[in-house]
Amino acid sequence: MVAQLTLRKDDFFASAGQAVAVADRYPQNVFAEHTHEFCELVLVWRGNGLHVLNDRPYRITRGDLFYIRAEDKHSYASVNDLVLQNVIYCPDRLRLNVDWAASIPGFNDAKSTPHWRLSSSGMTQVRQLISQLEQESHKADPVAHSMSELLFAQLVMTLRRHRFAADNPSATAQETPLDKLITTLAGSLNRSFALEKFCEQAQCSERVLRQQFRAQTGMTVNHYLRQLRICHAQYLLQHTEQMVSEVAMRCGFEDSNYFSVVFNREVGMTPVQWRHRSRKVA
């Protein structure tokens, strides 16, 4: 059996008293499954990749946000110009009198939702805070740790204000068409989606939106939606007893044979083979 890779505190924090640090991934390459001696916030700025968190696959792109606990196991695969930042922290080193659990899903509850999305306006504010936090975390003056923790508190509050459920398009009513498109796609796994109709409702140019989507995610709209559906199918195949035909229907494929062809092309094995292998590994 291969030993589980664990990322150590000593390799990522400058001192034993440091509670917060920033780890840039420009870009994020393929990374084997691992756990940590610390927790982290993962914010995706652009590109795309496959993020497998506790055996659940997520196709990630611009605006995705994850709250990772130390004991969580995760990995990155199939990356394409994936740019993200990890804000890492040690809960036992935090000293501010803040209700961290109210703003950080999973801080005390393993059942909390780890995956969220950020609006464009939220991303702009968060970028500025992380930049300040990164600069402060590199300083060695007596108040650096306190300043870093203050900025971290502001960051988690800002994330709480601007995050929304990954499949809830109504949450982005005041945001950009690109925000709403990505969220609407996540909510369209089991039903048809027409970009033309979406653009009519959003009152935006289809051509411009297609260009923006590809520039930010590295994928076409159809490719991204197909990847979302395949990821959901992988989860259902591993964690439920549903027949392949039922999984196909729940993932937006009316023809189970076509679903099997697409799944095989994207994953490299048939749905039945995937189910057998994923359960054997687990």
Shared-domain flag, residues 252 and 117: no
- Average pLDDT on 254-258 reads 93
Shared-domain flag, residues 153 and 13: yes
Shared-domain flag, residues 140 and 242: no
pLDDT tens-place string over residues 126-160 = 999 999 999 999 888 889 999 999 999 999 999 99
Q: What one-character-per-residue DSSP string does the chain give?
A: -PPPEEE-GGGT-SSTT--EEEEEESS---EEEEEESSEEEEEEEEEEEEEEETTEEEEEETTEEEEE-TT--EEEEEEEEEEEEEEEE-GGG--S---HHHHSTTSS-TTS--EEEE-HHHHHHHHHHHHHHHHHHT--STTHHHHHHHHHHHHHHHHHHHEE-TT-GGGGTTS-HHHHHHHHHHT-TTS---HHHHHHHHT--HHHHHHHHHHHHSS-HHHHHHHHHHHHHHHHHHH----HHHHHHHTT-S-HHHHHHHHHHHHSS-HHHHHHHHHHH-
CA distance 194 to 196: 5
Shared-domain flag, residues 41 and 76: yes
CATH number of domain containing 49 = 2.60.120.280
For residue 119, name the pLDDT band (cuts at 50, 70, 90).
confident
Q: Identify the domain boundary among 139, 164, 189.
A: 164
- pLDDT computed for residue 242 by the predictor: 94
pLDDT tens-place string over residues 55-111 = 999 999 999 999 999 999 999 988 888 999 999 999 999 999 999 999 999 998 767
By residue range, what is the domain housing residue 186?
A: 170-282
Shared-domain flag, residues 81 and 189: no
Shared-domain flag, residues 145 and 183: no
Q: Identify the domain boundary among 164, 196, 216.
A: 164
Shared-domain flag, residues 142 and 20: yes
- Average pLDDT on 173-200 reads 89
Shared-domain flag, residues 115 and 250: no
Shared-domain flag, residues 183 and 268: yes
- CA 228 to chain CA centroid, Å, is 12
CA distances from 109 to 67, 68, 102, 128, 165 (A): 12, 12, 11, 29, 18
pLDDT tens-place string over residues 27-45 = 778 889 999 999 999 999 9
Shared-domain flag, residues 66 and 176: no
